Amino acid sequence: MKITKENGSLRIPDKVTIPFIEGDGIGVEITPICQNVVDQAVNKAYKGKRSIEWKETLGGEKAFKERGDYLPEETVEIFREYLVGIKGPLTTPVGEGFRSLNVALRQTLDLYVCLRPVRWFPGVASPLKEPQKVNMTIFRENTEDIYAGIEWQQGTPEARKVLRFLKEEMGVTQIRFEETSSFGVKPVSKEGTERLVRAAIEYTLKNRLPSLTLVHKGNIMKFTEGSFKRWGYELAEREYSDALADGRLVIQDVIADAFLQNTLLFPERYSVIATLNLNGDYISDQLAAMVGGIGIAPGANINYQSGHAIFEATHGTAPDIAGKNKANPSSLILSSVMMLEYLGWKEAANLITGAMEKAFANGKATHDLARFMHGGQSLGSKQFGETLIQLIN
C-alpha cells in the first residue's frame, strides 16, 4: 500500500510498498542483501504486523537495456506517487545529452535536503585519535548555489555577452583576465535557505540534539553565503523564539574552512550542520572519511514539505569490484535505517544498527573495512549480510 500525506504528515500503512532502483555495478549485489536485512529486522520487530513490499522500478543500465532510456518517465512518476523510495548507485551515462540520473530525480521531485548522518562504529579504523566524538548530521542544501549549473565557457559568444553585461551594465572592474575567463552564477535564495534551515531546526528539536551550526563563507561571499547565515538566524528568531529562549535550540555559525579544521580537532563541538550545496559536498566527504569512508556513509534526498524522500548509497557503482562479492553493503543498509526512521519504524531501525555495531566490534566486515581493523575478518558481501541477519535474530 502507498504512503500518503494527510494534514501535513505522512500516513504509513503497515504493509508499505517501497519502490526501489537496484542500481548499476555493485548495486546488483548490495540491493538484495540490503532488502533481506531490512525484511528480517522488520519481521523481528513487528512479528508480521508490519512489512515492506519492494516494488522494482527501472533506472540506470537495466532501464536502458529494457526501455532504451536510463531514467524512464514512469520511474520518476512512481517515486512521485509512492513518496518514499530507495536506490542503489547509478552510472552517469557518458556522452552528450545524458543527465545525471541522481540530479534528474533530485530536481524533478525538488528534494531540497541532502541528509547525511555521520557517526563512528567502534571497531572501524579511523584516522582520528578519538573518532567516538564524531556524531553529526549534515543538512546540505540540494537545489541552489554554484551547483545550479549556470555557467558559460570561456571563449563562447555567451561568455563574451556576460562579460559585456558585467562591465557595461553592472560596472564590474575586478575581472583579472577578461578574455580568458569562464563565468558561473551562484544563486542563493531566502526561500531556499529557510526551508533547509527549518528542516535542520526541526530535526535538532525532534531528536533533542545539542546544537545546530550554520556553515558558510559569508566573510568572502557576503550576499550569498553571508545571507544564508543571516536568513538562518532570522528564521530561528522568528519561528523558534521559545526554543531559543529555553535552550532547546542552540544555533551557532562558523566559517567553512575553520569548520573543516575544527571537525578534525574538536568534532564534539558539532551536532547538526546546515550548509550550502558546495560546502556540503566537501564536508560530507571529509566527515565520511573520518569515520570509515564511502562504504558506510548513508544518505537521503528529502523534500520535507511534500514528504518525498529517496534514500541512497552515497558511493558510486565501483566497477572495479562489481560481481566479485566484495562490495560493502553498509552504506545502502544504513540508508535503509534512515528510511525506517523516516517511516517511524524505529524498532526495526535500531535492530539493524545494533547488529552492525556488534559485527564491526567483532571485526566482521567486508574487505574494504576489515583490512584496516585489528583482528579484522574479511567477509564477502553476502556473508556480511548473513552475519547481520544472525545478529538481528
**C-alpha dihedral (224, 229, 232, 236), degrees to nearest 10:** -160
Interface with ligand ATP, residue 213, by CB under 6 A: no
Interface with ligand ATP, residue 315, by CB under 6 A: yes
d(CA 114, CA 145): 14
Residue 26 has φ and ψ, to the nearest 5°, of -70, -10
Taking the complex as a whole, how short is the minimal distance between the CB of residue 313 and ligand ATP, in angstroms? 7
Choose the catalytic residue: 62, 217, 229, 358. Answer: 217
Would residue 129 show up in a list of annotated catalytic residues for this protein? no
Interface with ligand ATP, residue 93, by CB under 6 A: no
Interface with ligand ATP, residue 226, by CB under 6 A: no
Interface with ligand ATP, residue 91, by CB under 6 A: yes
Taking the complex as a whole, how short is the minimal distance between the CB of residue 283 and ligand ATP, in angstroms? 17
Interface with ligand ATP, residue 294, by CB under 6 A: yes
Taking the complex as a whole, how short is the minimal distance between the CB of residue 26 and ligand ATP, in angstroms? 6
Q: Which burial class, exposed, middle or buried, applies to 14 when counting CB atoms under 10 A from its CB (0-12, 13-18, 19+)?
A: exposed
Taking the complex as a whole, how short is the minimal distance between the CB of residue 315 and ligand ATP, in angstroms? 3
Residue 314 has φ and ψ, to the nearest 5°, of -90, -15
Asked if residue 160 lies in contact with residue 152, where contact means CB atoms within 8 angstroms, the answer is no
Interface with ligand ATP, residue 101, by CB under 6 A: no
Interface with ligand ATP, residue 333, by CB under 6 A: no
Choose the catalytic residue: 281, 282, 285, 382. Answer: 281
Interface with ligand ATP, residue 327, by CB under 6 A: yes
Would residue 257 show up in a list of annotated catalytic residues for this protein? yes
Q: Which of 83, 240, 368, 370 binds ligand ATP (CB under 6 A)?
A: 368
Interface with ligand ATP, residue 113, by CB under 6 A: no
Interface with ligand ATP, residue 216, by CB under 6 A: no
CB of 23 or CB of 307, closer to ligand ATP = 23
CB of 89 or CB of 307, closer to ligand ATP = 89
Choose the catalytic residue: 39, 110, 257, 285. Answer: 257
CB of 71 or CB of 209, closer to ligand ATP = 71
Would residue 285 show up in a list of annotated catalytic residues for this protein? no
Choose the catalytic residue: 112, 147, 270, 304. Answer: 147
CB of 312 or CB of 368, closer to ligand ATP = 368
Taking the complex as a whole, how short is the minimal distance between the CB of residue 368 and ligand ATP, in angstroms? 4
Compose the 11-50 pattern: x for residues touching ligand ATP by CB under 6 A, - for all others.
---------------x------------------------
Would residue 186 show up in a list of annotated catalytic residues for this protein? no
Judged by CB under 6 A, the stretch of 76-84, 209-217, 246-254, 327-335 that binds ligand ATP is 327-335
Residues that bind ligand ATP (CB under 6 A): 26, 89, 91, 294-295, 315-321, 327-328, 331, 368
Annotated catalytic sites, by residue?
A: 147, 217, 257, 281
